[in-house]
Structure 1
Amino acid sequence: MGVIYGGRSGEHEVSIASAAAVMANLDRARYEPVPIRIDRDGRWSLADKPPTAASASEVIEQTRAELKALRAGREVHLLPRPSEETILAIDRSHARGDDESRAIVTGVGLDVIVPVLHGPHGEDGTVQGLLELANVPYVGCGVLASAVGMDKALMKRVFGAHGLPQCAYAVVLRRRVLAEPDVVAGELEARLGLPMFVKPANLGSSVGISKARTREELVEALKLAADYDRKVVIEAAVPNAREIEVAVLGNDDPIASVPGEVVPAREFYDYEAKYLDGASRLAIPADVPDEMGERLQALAVDAFRAIDGAGLSRVDFLIDGQRGDVFVNEINTMPGFTTISMYSKLWAATGITYPELVDRLVQLALERHAEKQRLRVSAF
């Protein structure tokens, strides 16, 4: 089993912690994990040591020497074609200068791959496309669902087409933000009203997200989000919002976990609140009426099916604290996956332990791959 982690995204550290949890909780009698690290520069390697950090903050605190040791390893290339050798590992230590003839190339076959990658260049369908070309089973959503789930602008359009309840929003291109930020801010204020949340369309873990309460804050929030993506999503703030999350597991017949509530220590659940300061609280199960809990579970499954999800996702909701209205906020196709992440905690509260959860995800990946192998690839 290959476990791919790291990646070229702002969620690099979160991915390392998620992969460490996966490898630490595998049933070694059934699975032999092969740690495949993607560095920030995009280099793939077979890690000499698997990651062990339990959280993103722990990854950040590691010394440079420790990080260097984790990065050490043979160069790896995943073959973009069906083959018994899923990856090629290249040892260049015997090469001299530009002479590559002494490099040792080893083929490694993998039965299944777990791409524990968060954010762009991993959760957005790019790596999933490479795995499809290699025709290897992999855990999680496919190319389309991953791409739609990553792009909040397209996600909202798909949710709207399926009649899912959403708060008012707008999408603005980076070029326009940089060309006329004051004009854009004025239009948004007239359309959505203050306060509002401003996000890069293609990032997760609350990176680049701001809450704007004034015109001046809105202009700065737009510019910040535009630093991360060519599309910026702006949402009307939900009054006294409660953030509720539901985990989804399955392929064609998905099931939903009990709902859980995020009680942020900060004004909203930003990156620091999620991964660094440790002061935020998770209430599992969420303190909601049974009828609302069942509705949240049904909406989570509907959102999962709307993007044609597979394997796993976490669906995030906002509840109006004044009126009780429920809004689907977003879906995460590869949510944080440490043992202390909301996704795994929700399933633990529902009755599925972390090791059982990983095993189910692997079986779902094999099931979906086997189904695709039965499809005709020729008209004759």
Structure 2
Amino acid sequence: MKLTILFGGASFEHEISIVSAITLKAKLQNFDLSFIFCDQDHSFYSIDTSKMKATTFSKGEHKKMPRLSISNGAFLEKKMFSTVEHKGTVLNLIHGADGEDGTIASLLDFFSIKYIGPRVNASVFSYDKKYTKWLCEAKKIKSVAYEMFCSNEHKNIDMSYPVIVKPASLGSSIGVSIVKDESELDYALDVAYEYDKSILVEPFIEDVKEYNLAGYMANGKIVYSIVEEPQKEEFLDFEKKYMDFSRSEQVLKADISEELELKLRNTFDKVYKNMFEGALIRCDFFVVNGEVLLNEINPIPGSMANYLFEDFEGGLEALASSLPHGKRASVNYEYIHSISSAKGK
């Protein structure tokens, strides 16, 4: 199968996207892969597969590679006497801003390019955590209690300490702090505000059970990954998550009951259906006193959560053959012609 991996982007998670792309190069050995890099200035480059290594980008070597433009149905590479079209299914692997906020989805939709990844609506409701909370309320999905803070207001929190403070629109635990008492709150807010003007404050639940479940829809049915119980200390910090994004070996299935696995799958269904079709996503759940709570939605998980699937290559191929198709309006100018005819023009 031919697949173009689009990665990079102008976000705090730019380097993580590079790590993910390099990991998938090694993981998808049976695919006909090509790579398109989006730099921080939103220029696109066709990356030589043999040069897919971290130093290519850290040293700026990608700038010597073919620069691409975009047109209806394809990315274009202009040569001296011809133009080469880079067609085929695109895998949106840009983490954070650009990739997960709906920007790339809008671009690909606008130019009618087939892609694996969250559509615009799904991006909006998963990128900003406050919108994720609203989605939970609308779909009757239980989630962790929260309070919202904005950079232009100052107030005290109403919940008891310890709490966790996180930017509303970032993943990978960037800007996240655990606050154990009031004296630490202002500093934690300042750290979070470095990355976002909106902040979520949630109770930090001691010894909580956490489980990850990924999945996608193919041929009208949701295909689930195994359930993982991530190993962590206080919480998965940036360094731990950064290293996890390079994982390619399948992890062990969590030792949980069939009843709990069914609860996790049912909640995943509520999140995914009528929102994330066309994407492979991972949901991170908390389980408190037997109750499943949605913690976060990862619309483009690190390295596409390949380590949670027994047949990751087969899964991507099935997903690529089941992508939703947007319907374009047919423009025939009947209205203008009828007006012109009525006026005798």
- Range class of TM-score, shorter chain: 0.7 to 0.9
Alpha-carbon deviations, 1:128-157, whole Å to 9, x = none?
100001011101221110121111110110
Shift of 1:110: 0.7
Query: Which SS does the other structure have where 2:280 is aligned?
Result: strand
Shift of 1:345: 1.9
The CA distance in 2 between the partners of 1:257 and 1:137, in whole Å, is 24
Distance 1:363 1:20, change over 3 A: farther
Q: Is this contact kept in 1: 2:251–2:308, CA < 8 A?
A: no
Please list every run of 5 or more consecutive structure 1 residues that lacks an aligned counterpart in the other structure: 54-58, 92-102
Match of 2:100 among 123, 129, 133: 123
Partner of 1:45: 45
Match of 1:205 among 169, 172, 190: 172
Partner of 2:338: none
The CA distance in 2 between the partners of 1:318 and 1:355, in whole Å, is 29
Q: Is this contact kept in 1: 2:4–2:35, CA < 8 A?
A: yes
Query: Which SS does the other structure have where 1:262 is aligned?
Result: coil
Shift of 1:51: 5.6
Task: Report the TM-score, using the length of structure 1 for normalisation.
Answer: 0.78
Q: Is this contact kept in 2: 1:165–1:327, CA < 8 A?
A: yes
Partner of 2:306: 344
Please list every run of 5 or more consecutive structure 2 residues that lacks an aligned counterpart in the other structure: 335-345
Match of 2:89 among 105, 112, 118: 112
Match of 1:334 among 287, 300, 310: 300
The CA distance in 2 between the partners of 1:258 and 1:319, in whole Å, is 17
Partner of 1:19: 21
Letter in 2 for 1:78: I
Q: Is this contact kept in 2: 1:158–1:307, CA < 8 A?
A: no
The CA distance in 2 between the partners of 1:73 and 1:105, in whole Å, is 17
Q: Percent identity?
A: 27
Partner of 1:73: 65
Q: Is this contact kept in 2: 1:38–1:44, CA < 8 A?
A: yes
Partner of 2:120: 143
Q: Is this contact kept in 2: 1:141–1:309, CA < 8 A?
A: yes
Partner of 2:6: 4
Match of 2:270 among 299, 302, 316: 302
Partner of 1:89: 77
Alpha-carbon deviations, 1:167-219, whole Å to 9, x = none?
2101111222xxx3xxx2x2x1xx22111111111111111111111112221
Shift of 1:296: 0.6
Letter in 1 for 2:85: V
Distance 1:46 1:277, change over 3 A: closer
The residue correspondences of 1:315-326 to structure 2 (distance < 5 A) are 315-320=283-288, 323-326=289-292
Q: Is this contact kept in 2: 1:48–1:72, CA < 8 A?
A: no
Distance 1:104 1:42, change over 3 A: farther
Distance 1:161 1:335, change over 3 A: same
Task: Report the TM-score, using the length of structure 2 for normalisation.
Answer: 0.85
Partner of 1:100: none
Alpha-carbon deviations, 1:249-280, whole Å to 9, x = none?
1165323222111111x3110111222499x9
1:175 aligns with 2:133: no
The residue correspondences of 1:233-252 to structure 2 (distance < 5 A) are 233-250=200-217
Q: Is this contact kept in 2: 1:167–1:238, CA < 8 A?
A: no
The CA distance in 2 between the partners of 1:127 and 1:74, in whole Å, is 20
Partner of 1:196: 163
The CA distance in 1 between the partners of 2:21 and 2:104, in whole Å, is 16
Aligned length: 328
The CA distance in 1 between the partners of 2:13 and 2:51, in whole Å, is 15
Query: Which SS does the other structure have where 1:45 is aligned?
Result: strand
The CA distance in 2 between the partners of 1:262 and 1:215, in whole Å, is 29
Partner of 1:56: none
Letter in 2 for 1:75: R
Q: Is this contact kept in 2: 1:169–1:235, CA < 8 A?
A: yes
Shift of 1:126: 0.3
Letter in 1 for 2:299: T
Q: Is this contact kept in 1: 2:168–2:199, CA < 8 A?
A: yes
Q: Is this contact kept in 2: 1:246–1:258, CA < 8 A?
A: yes
Shift of 1:336: 0.7
CA RMSD of aligned residues (A): 2.8
Shift of 1:75: 1.8
